[in-house]
């Protein structure tokens, strides 16, 4: 089915809270919301977010930033909430797994409590990791997943699954207007150079002329969505009518092996880096590709930026970053 997104909904000025707003995705979302004419309250504790991601917005009359940890309640007045607060890369979320679970679960409880008090719409940034090491391929929203509840990735995977549970329980119990997006691998400017994600890893290693580190034999697959496409999906989902809850997969359905990505990165960076292979981490998914039929039908959304084009922008960003130039991409 096709659901029309109201033009008036898109243009009406709102006060919008973005938790994790100084992070990779959150800062791009703040940019887009400001560009649409909204008032944005960016909340972040800067564990993985960075002030440099939002410094170009400081002083803007419709932008406000608040240092706050979402594991504690927040008392503000807003019209909508985007809950993005969470470490998202294995290096960061495994650094303090207990705190990761607290951030995801307590953060969800606190933001849902705020939305309940305000009777406002709330968006949850969930993840493809709820599918675990999927045995259904590509992954559809109705698939319940294959997740290890006791492994080193469980703090993030199970935390996000619990957050989805909370969102739907608040929806059923309190009639809360929720929107849940399952985000697949996303890349672009403002990724942290040391976050351990494959795109940033490969680019930084290639630009430095270091060996490209591939875990496993390089045959495992991922699908890579450029950040601008993903943010468009966020806003389209948030602008759907009441009752459209998701979860909705948001990601690029074009699948690449890790070896293909490494070779393309070396080519585009003009690098002479060699490939080096290390053991595959525990519970690392062997394949990952979203079925985006639901997003196409409900949101009229699909990615438009091909991997080569997105990598060009991302490589340019990291090239400036590594050379010490100012970056506000």
CA distance 287 to 199: 16
Which helix (H) or strand (E) element contains residue 65?
Answer: strand 63-67
Q: What does the pLDDT read at residue 159?
A: 95
Phi, psi values for residue 278, rounded to 5°: -125, 165
236: containing domain: 7-186+226-252+289-303
CA distance from start to end of the chain: 36
Q: What secondary structure does DSSP assign to 70-117, as a single string?
A: TTS------SEEEE--S--SHHHHTTSHHHHHHHHHHHHHHHHHHHHH
Alpha-carbon dihedral of residues 47, 48, 52, 56, nearest 10 degrees?
Answer: -100
CA distance 120 to 114: 8
Task: Print pLDDT tens along the chain (329 aa).
Answer: 344 344 334 468 999 999 999 999 999 999 999 999 999 999 999 988 999 999 999 999 999 999 999 999 999 999 999 999 998 656 666 668 899 999 999 999 999 999 999 999 999 999 999 999 899 999 999 999 999 999 888 888 999 999 999 999 999 999 999 999 999 999 999 998 887 789 999 999 999 999 999 988 999 999 999 999 999 999 999 999 999 999 999 999 999 999 999 999 999 999 999 999 998 777 677 888 999 999 999 999 999 999 999 999 999 999 999 988 766 66
Kindly calculate the radius of gyration of the chain based on its CA atoms and give it in whole angstroms.
19
Number of domains in the chain: 1
Handedness of CA 314, 44, 19, 103 (dihedral sign): positive
Residue 77 lies in a domain: yes
Q: Please give the model's pTM, rounded to 2 decimal places.
A: 0.92
Q: What does the pLDDT read at residue 280?
A: 79
- For residue 90 the two structure tokens come to 């294995």
CA distance 124 to 328: 26
Catalytic residue among 156, 187, 226, 317: 156
Q: What does the pLDDT read at residue 3?
A: 44
Q: Is 38 helix (H, G, I), strand (E, B) or coil?
A: coil
Report whether 88 contacts 49 (CB < 8 A): no
Place of tokens 């969800």: 108
Residue 67 lies in a domain: yes
Q: Is 17 helix (H, G, I), strand (E, B) or coil?
A: strand
Residue count (the chain): 329
Residue 209 lies in a domain: no
Residue 247 lies in a domain: yes
CATH number of the domain that residue 230 is part of: 3.40.50.720
Residue 100 lies in a domain: yes
Report whether 218 contacts 251 (CB < 8 A): no
CA angle 242, 251, 262 (to 5 degrees): 165
Q: What does the pLDDT read at residue 195?
A: 79
Percent helix, percent strand, percent coil in the chain, to nearest 5: 40, 20, 40
Phi, psi values for residue 86, rounded to 5°: 175, 140
Residue 133 lies in a domain: yes
CA distance 274 to 230: 31
Identify whether 82 is a catalytic site residue.
no
Q: What does the pLDDT read at residue 197?
A: 87
Residue 169 lies in a domain: yes
Residue 317 lies in a domain: no
- For residue 78 the two structure tokens come to 């807003």
Q: What secondary structure does DSSP assign to 147-200, as a single string?
A: --TTSTTHHHHHHHHHHHHHHHHHHHHH---EEEEEE--EE-TT--TTS--HHH
**CB atoms near residue 145 (< 10 Å):** 16
CA 267, distance to chain mean position in Å, is 27
What angle separates helix 307-322 from helix 258-269, to the nearest 10 degrees? 60
């Amino acid at each position: 089915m096709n659901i029309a997104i109201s033009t008036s909904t898109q243009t009406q000025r709102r006060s919008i809270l973005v938790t994790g707003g100084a992070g990779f995705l959150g800062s791009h979302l703040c940019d887009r919301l400001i560009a649409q004419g909204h008032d944005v309250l960016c909340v972040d504790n800067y564990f993985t977010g960075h002030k440099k991601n939002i410094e170009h917005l400081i002083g803007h009359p419709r932008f406000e930033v608040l240092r706050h940890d979402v594991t504690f309640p927040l008392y503000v007045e807003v019209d909508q909430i985007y809950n993005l607060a969470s470490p998202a890369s294995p290096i960061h979320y495994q650094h303090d797994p207990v705190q990761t679970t607290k951030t995801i679960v307590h953060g969800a409880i606190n933001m849902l409590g705020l939305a309940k008090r305000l009777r406002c719409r709330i968006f949850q940034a969930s993840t493809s990791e709820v599918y675990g090491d999927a045995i259904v391929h590509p992954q559809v929203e109705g698939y319940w997943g294959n997740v290890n509840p006791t492994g080193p990735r469980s703090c993030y995977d199970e935390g996000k699954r619990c957050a989805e549970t909370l969102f739907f329980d608040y929806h059923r119990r309190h009639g809360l207007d929720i929107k849940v997006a399952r985000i697949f691998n996303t890349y672009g400017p403002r990724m942290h150079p040391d976050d351990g994600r494959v795109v940033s890893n490969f680019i930084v290693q290639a630009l430095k002329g270091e060996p490209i580190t591939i875990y496993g034999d390089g045959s495992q697959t991922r699908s890579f969505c450029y950040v601008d496409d993903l943010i468009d999906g966020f806003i389209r989902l948030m602008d759907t009518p009441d009752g459209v809850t998701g979860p909705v997969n948001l990601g690029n359905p074009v699948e690449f092996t890790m070896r293909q990505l490494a070779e393309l990165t070396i080519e585009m960076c003009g690098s002479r880096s060699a490939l080096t292979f290390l053991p595959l981490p525990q519970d690392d998914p062997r394949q990952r590709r979203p079925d985006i039929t639901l997003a196409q039908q409900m949101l009229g959304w699909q990615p438009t930026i091909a991997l080569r084009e997105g990598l060009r922008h991302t490589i340019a960003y990291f090239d400036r970053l590594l050379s010490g130039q100012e970056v506000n991409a």
